[in-house]
Amino acid sequence: MMIRHLLFLAVTLGLLLPSAAAQSLPEQLDAVMRQHYPSDRVPGGVLVVKQGDEPVFSRGFGSADPKTGAAIKADTHFRMASVSKQFTAMAVYLLAEAGKLTLDDPLAQFFEGLADTVGAITIRQLLNHTSGIWDYEALIPDSQTVQVLDADVLRLIRRQEHTYFAPGTRFRYSNTGYCLLSLIVAKVSGQRYADFVKQRIFLPLGMDEALVYEPQVEIANRAYGYHPDGDRFVFADQSLTSAAQGDGGVYLSAQEYLRWAEALLVGGFPSSAYRDSLEAEKSPVNGNVYYSMGWFIGREKDGTACLFHSGESTGFHNIVYLNPHRGLTVALFTNRDDMEIAGIFERVAQLIGINPQVAATGESVSLFRWLNEVY
């Protein structure tokens, strides 16, 4: 009788307390996001997951603008920070594909007044962070009060006679390189960089509201960046380096990012040769990871290739992951520059079954934290 009673009690509790295993994947993803971003009144984030043609999850949490109470949604526009680099690299790739430049072209071909060592750096080395060029952030005068533009980065670099190491010999992440690449795109195309990206990348893919940031241009439906300070958040939307375009100036929504990812994974944008070029141009970073034209490239345990990148700037943290073999896209954008994103992405990755082998020793590590240490 006692055994029968205990069995009845266990069954009853099982019905009243559904397990995580009984939850669908969207329900589990929702629970993860709500645990980290429980309040609608403070900054939060948006998570989108797509597998093949199936949208698995697309939902915002928290406030895009706590001052107005606007909620974060899948169409809210976030600053991409370094996730922007894949668009700068694509702009360069489009010009190379059209025969307007080659990846072996040196900086001296585009800009006067550079030291010989700096002038000999190639476009390929800028794209893959193997140039050794100085970090422009370290060269900004302490007296600087206005935002630095890409053209200002060039002026700062013109004063440098040396590089950190011989160009092409190793990896060192460089925002400077991507600011110079945006200037090269403008010089070669004869268009402003923001216009070239809009007309040649965003509009053809239906990313109609995506844009490259310009101080005087209003961004509709945008998230504003915040920094955590104890139990509150402080407005921190812009810094001295937030107006530079090539290294981190793209603003777009999670919905628009899915269009971009689908074009790369399925649509063969801009051509079928692009993914082959990513593989051919890759340079070693460390462990099992390479870098190629705006992407970190790794391998899953099953041997499939995956592309990923994070973005970190004042008020914003982001991370994206693509697996071409699985047709999988994961994008997590936040308008707060805390490390909550690291734990979120780690749990999301576990639920979806992704685990890039980024550590040389093969152990599992938080992808966002690993990327944070790389640059």
| 78-90 per-position pLDDT tens digit | 999 999 999 999 9
Q: With 70 as the cut, is the pLDDT of residue 15 above it?
A: no
pLDDT at res. 359: 75
Query: Into which CATH architecture does domain 24-374 fall?
Result: 3-Layer(aba) Sandwich (3.40)
Domain borders along the chain are: 24-374
pLDDT at res. 310: 98
Contacts of 294 (CB under 8 A, 6+ apart): 85, 86, 87, 88, 89, 90, 127, 309
Q: With 60 as the cut, is the pLDDT of residue 12 above it?
A: no
Average pLDDT score, the chain: 93
Nearest one of 20, 218, 240, 29 to 152, comparing CA atoms:
240
| 227-253 per-position pLDDT tens digit | 999 999 999 999 999 999 999 999 999
**3-class secondary structure for the chain?**
CHHHHHHHHHHHHHHHCCCHHHCCHHHHHHHHHHHHCCCCCCCCEEEEEEECCEEEEEEEECEEECCCCEECCCCCEEECHHHHHHHHHHHHHHHHHCCCCCCCCEHHHCCCCCCHHHHCCEHHHHHCCCCCCCCHHHHCCCCCCCCCCHHHHHHHHHCCCCCCCCCCCCCCCCHHHHHHHHHHHHHHHCCCHHHHHHHHHHHHHCCCCCEECCCCCCCCCECCCEEEECCEEEECCCCCCCCCCCCCCEEEEHHHHHHHHHHHHCCCCCCCCHHHHHHHHCEEEECCEEEECCEEEEECCCCCEEEEEEEEECCEEEEEEEECCCCEEEEEEECECCCHHHHHHHHHHHHHCCCCCCCCCCCCCCHHHHHHHHC
The reported pTM is 0.93
pLDDT at res. 363: 66
